[in-house]
């Protein structure tokens, strides 16, 4: 077995500052925090990050979710994720 030494440390791909809390996410979406909480329980809404007991959202994920749920008319259905 070969052990490689002096390998460069890999930096995390997401900085904690890049994540926003549920209140900030609700403001971005124009929804209430309670709506986001209900969506998480029901399995809907935008994807989120769970860090222990904390819930966070990536702003780029919220933007993508908004785009995926943009429709041209009330008879059109949103794209499924």
How many folded domains does the chain comprise?
Answer: 1
CA atoms lying within 13 Å on the CB side of residue 68: 12
Q: Is residue 76 part of a domain?
A: no
Domain CATH code at residue 53: 1.10.10.10
Confidence of residue 4 (pLDDT cuts 50, 70, 90): low
Paired tokens of 22: 């549920």
Q: For the segment 25-53, what is each residue's pLDDT rounded down to a tens digit?
A: 999 999 999 999 999 999 889 999 999 99
Task: Confirm whether 4 is domain-assigned.
Answer: no
Residue 34: give the domain boundaries: 18-68
What pLDDT does residue 22 have?
95
Domain assignment present for residue 78? The answer is no
Domain contains 27 = yes
Q: Say if 6 falls within a structural domain.
A: no
pLDDT at 11 (0 to 100): 59
Q: Is the pTM of this model over 0.85?
A: no
- Residue 43 falls within a domain, yes or no? yes
Please give the pLDDT value at position 13. 65
Report the pLDDT value the prediction gives residue 75, as an integer from 0 to 100.
83
């Amino acid at each position: 077995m070969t052990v490689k030494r002096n390998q460069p440390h890999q930096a995390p791909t997401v900085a904690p500052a890049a994540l926003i809390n549920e209140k900030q996410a609700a403001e971005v979406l124009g929804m209430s925090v309670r709506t986001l909480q209900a969506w998480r329980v029901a399995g809907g809404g935008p994807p989120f990050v769970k860090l222990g007991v904390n819930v966070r959202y990536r702003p780029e994920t919220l933007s993508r979710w908004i785009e995926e749920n943009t429709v041209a008319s009330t008879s059109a259905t949103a794209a499924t994720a």
